[in-house]
Amino acid sequence: MLIIKLAWRNLWRNKRRTIITISSICFGLVLALVFIGLGDGTYGTMIDSAARLGSGHITLEHPDYRSSLLTRLTLQSTGEVTKYFKEINEIEGWAPRILGQAMLSTSYGSVGAAFIGVDPEREKENTLFIDKITEGSYLEHAEGRGVLIGKKMAARLNVSIGSKMVITANNLHGEIAAELLRVVGIFETGSEMIDGYICQITLKRAQTLLAMKETEITQLAIFITNQRATERIIEHLKISLSDANEVAVLSWREVMPELASYVELDGTSNYIFQIIIFIIIAAGILNTILMSVMERQFEFGVLLCLGMKPHNLLFLILTESMLLGLLGVTVGTVMGLLCNQYFTVKGFDMTLFTGENLDISGIALDPILYSDLYPDHLVITVVLVFLMTVLVGIYPAIKATRSEPIETLKKGK
Amino acid sequence: MTDIVRLEGVTKVYQDGKVAVPALRGIDLVLQKGEFVAVAGPSGSGKTTLLNIIGGLDKPTQGSVYLEEKRLSAMTRGELSRLRLNRIGFIFQSYNLIPVLTAFENAEFVLLLQKQPAEERRQRVGNLLEEVGLSGLENRFPRDMSGGQQQRVAIARSIAPEPALVLADEPTANVDSQTASELLDLMEKLNREKKVTFLFSTHDPAVMERSRRLIVLKDGRIAKDTLK
Ligand SMILES: Nc1ncnc2c1ncn2[C@@H]1O[C@H](COP(=O)(O)OP(=O)(O)OP(=O)(O)O)[C@@H](O)[C@H]1O
Ligand SMILES: [Mg+2]
């Protein structure tokens, strides 16, 4: 109690210095929290967009499909599998799909393409493609012959809404099959690959084309409300589906390894940047505490003369840096959260810095970044900054205990 | 009467670079309970060194120091620190008080280190502050008190734990003669009424006058030791 009282009052002896130190801790923490929050938000958005444009946050497919990409490796038990989804609240929707390679031809020419057979009703709730449609509309009739193509492909085939084209592919029997299609919509995602290579047709049309049974699909894309829950839901599904054979449960990390490693790598470089900020701030705190200790050598001498134990002096200085850290961290956390809140609502306009649109591994990013600080990142950062201030106090504290009481009386003259 | 302090052949040689500086050259001295002793002598004669050695803040080069029959040189750092806490009061020339603590808290400080119960502390310090004439100034911080008032707090602090001995190195050097005389009145009163043993050093002839035993140091030796 005595030590805390002494430490607290000592802190306010040099108000200006203390406030400057607290501000620097605060500044560092706010900076770190904003960066981490924006990072978390950006990665979250990227992952979410990629999942909604691609195969969902979680993908169910035949265990061997990914390695061979053979169309005949299908999922048969959709109805059986989807009944487990009801017990998981985070599952927002799911969509059956058929994937394949094909040739699209018009009188103008032919191009290779990847097609996705979809159930329009199910897709509407989850896919981002709908938002990317620039002309026409999304697929409507489950039985229809509609096709949705990218802007680049439309240019290559010289087609527009209403144009006819033929899709040709190898069916499950190894025969060449063809279907007539009509362009109903044109989308633009900003990605060269998606806009120039991918087309969507209805699930029924894809099954007819490939001579598949009505129950057969290539993959089941699952969309969840919060991408952070992916791993947990996968664990859950793996247990529920352990009896069903021939079903692999994959996360977006496995389906989009480039994105996963990008997020990881960029996150690491973010941390390195923050550690550098922390070190600079730590040096400032060390300087402050060391200075205040050096100034008080005489006083420490008096305390030791009076019979205070050296280790009590150590605690005194450590308590001072702890209080300093506590104040800085408290104010910093509040301000950091407020800043994050601001960027969560208003966003952070990257065009101020880049001047143009962002494109990371083929996924066009919204140039306005939205913050979404993960609670565990908040806790780690706050604890780290606090520990740092305490750690920095150790050296000056040890220095203080080295004061010899004898020096006191000498300097007292 | 009981011996409180006994010095036997104490010498102290400081090493100032390559030069050996003898500060004390053989001191034999006995202080008894209830004494009121002044140490005088020209600057550099060894007054501070003597007080430091008696207070266990410095070690003699040769000879032994006993405090209440315990030999200081046989003690560890921790034991010395405990001895200072419980048995010796210190009053310094200046900058005595802890600047962030009030008069009351300063006087209470040593009792807190001793872990005395709150009620006991409150009573003892309250009485002491009244005794040193500081009633009503309990909540003043040192910066808001005069030099004389600060020294009164220091005196209260030094005697609060009821030590065997109070060591004061030039306690009046920083105050005017009027205040010095008042501080001496106070120490005398405490010596008389509470039987506190005082050993103080001084340059001031008026202060020497007031002591009941005067030890004069010269070149690290006792030149004169008179009992009045
Ligand atoms: N740490 C030290 N290193 C070297 N010499 C020292 C040291 N401390 C004291 N001395 C020397 O020891 C001698 C005695 O010093 P001391 O401080 O005891 O004298 P003093 O009587 O208290 O003097 P003053 O009246 O000026 O306070 C002096 O010559 C001084 O220079
Ligand atoms: Mg001296």
Within 8 A by CB and 6+ apart from B202, the residues are B38, B39, B40, B170, B171, B172, B173, B208
Which H or E run includes B95? Answer: none
Q: Residue A355 has what pLDDT?
A: 57
Do the chains contact at B58 and A2, CB–CB below 8 Å? no
- Mode of pairing for the β-strands spanning B62-67 and B70-71: antiparallel
Task: Give the pLDDT confidence of A338-396 residue by residue, as tens digits.
Answer: 999 999 888 887 776 665 555 555 555 667 788 888 888 899 989 988 998 889 999 99
Do the chains contact at B84 and A306, CB–CB below 8 Å? yes
Measured between alpha carbons, how far is A329 from B15 in angstroms, rounded to an integer?
48
Which phi and psi angles does B41 have, rounded to 5°?
Answer: 140, 155
- The CB of B220 under 6 Å from ligand 1? The reply is no
The mean per-residue pLDDT over the stretch A251-267 comes to 86
Q: Residue B1 has what pLDDT?
A: 54
- Ranges of residues in chain B whose predicted pLDDT is under 50: none
Total residue count of chain B as it appears in this document: 228
Q: Which two tokens stand for residue A120?
A: 């329009």
Do the chains contact at B51 and A302, CB–CB below 8 Å? no
Measured between alpha carbons, how far is A28 from B134 in angstroms, rounded to an integer?
48
Task: Give the pLDDT confidence of A263-288 residue by residue, as tens digits.
Answer: 888 878 878 888 888 888 888 889 88
If one compares A75 and B222, the residue with the highest pLDDT of the two is B222
Cβ-based contacts under 8 A for chains A and B:
71
Chain A interface, best mutation among B16, B79, B90, B170, by max A CB count within 10 A: B90
The mean per-residue pLDDT over the stretch A239-258 comes to 84
Band of residue A412 on the pLDDT scale cut at 50, 70, 90: very low
Task: Give the pLDDT confidence of A99-113 residue by residue, as tens digits.
Answer: 999 999 998 889 999
- Mode of pairing for the β-strands spanning B19-32 and B3-16: antiparallel
Going A46 to A50 to A53 to A57, the CA torsion angle's sign is: negative
The mean per-residue pLDDT over the stretch A149-156 comes to 93
Task: Give the pLDDT confidence of A31-43 residue by residue, as tens digits.
Answer: 889 988 988 888 8
Residues in A 277-306 with any Cβ partner in B closer than 8 A: 298-299, 302-306
In the Cβ-directed half-sphere of A98, how many Cα atoms lie within 13 Å?
28
The mean per-residue pLDDT over the stretch A14-28 comes to 90
Ligand with smallest separation from the Cα of B52:
1
Chain A interface, best mutation among B52, B82, B116, B167, by max A CB count within 10 A: B52
Q: What percent of chain A has pLDDT over 70?
A: 94
CB-based contact, A309 to chain B, within 8 Å? yes
Q: Residue A147 has what pLDDT?
A: 94
Which of the listed residues B12, B13, B21 should we mutate to test ligand 1's pocket, taking the one with most ligand atoms within 8 A of CB?
A: B21
Which H or E run includes A205? Answer: helix A203-210
Which chain B residue has its CA at the smallest distance from A307's CA?
Answer: B85
Taking alpha carbons only, the member of A312, A316, A325 closest to residue A286 is A325
Cβ pair B128, B156 in contact under 8 A: yes
Cβ pair A132, A188 in contact under 8 A: yes
Q: Give the domain extent around B168.
A: 3-227
Measured between alpha carbons, how far is B187 from B190 in angstroms, rounded to an integer?
5
Cβ pair B39, B201 in contact under 8 A: yes
- Mode of pairing for the β-strands spanning B198-201 and B36-40: parallel
Q: Residue B158 has what pLDDT?
A: 92
- The CB of B44 under 6 Å from ligand 1? The reply is yes
Q: Which two tokens stand for residue B24?
A: 């004390």
If one compares A403 and A276, the residue with the highest pLDDT of the two is A276
Do the chains contact at B48 and A305, CB–CB below 8 Å? no
Q: Residue A274 has what pLDDT?
A: 82
Protein residue closest via CA to atom 29 of ligand 1: B44
Q: Residue A329 has what pLDDT?
A: 93
Span from the CA of B24 to the centroid of ligand 2 (angstroms): 13
Measured between alpha carbons, how far is B211 from B134 in angstroms, rounded to an integer?
24
Which of the listed residues B10, B13, B14, B53 should we mutate to test ligand 1's pocket, taking the one with most ligand atoms within 8 A of CB?
A: B14
Bridge partner residues of B77 (DSSP) = none
Taking alpha carbons only, the member of A164, A157, A194 closest to residue A179 is A164
Q: How many domains does chain B have?
A: 1
Contacts of residue A303 in chain B, CB cutoff 8 Å?
98
Q: Which two tokens stand for residue A213?
A: 């049974």
Q: Which two tokens stand for residue A341?
A: 């809140």
The SS3 assignment for A105 reads strand
Q: Residue A242 has what pLDDT?
A: 78
**Is the ipTM, as predicted for this complex, more than 0.90?**
no
Band of residue A413 on the pLDDT scale cut at 50, 70, 90: very low
| Domain locations in chain A as residue ranges | 2-49+260-412, 55-255
Q: Residue A256 has what pLDDT?
A: 87
Ligand with smallest separation from the Cα of B14:
1
Q: Residue B223 has what pLDDT?
A: 92
Contacts of residue A405 in chain B, CB cutoff 8 Å?
57, 84
If one compares A219 and A142, the residue with the highest pLDDT of the two is A219
CATH number of the domain that B46 lies in? 3.40.50.300
If one compares A403 and A215, the residue with the highest pLDDT of the two is A215
Measured between alpha carbons, how far is A363 from A194 in angstroms, rounded to an integer?
9
- The CB of B48 under 6 Å from ligand 1? The reply is yes
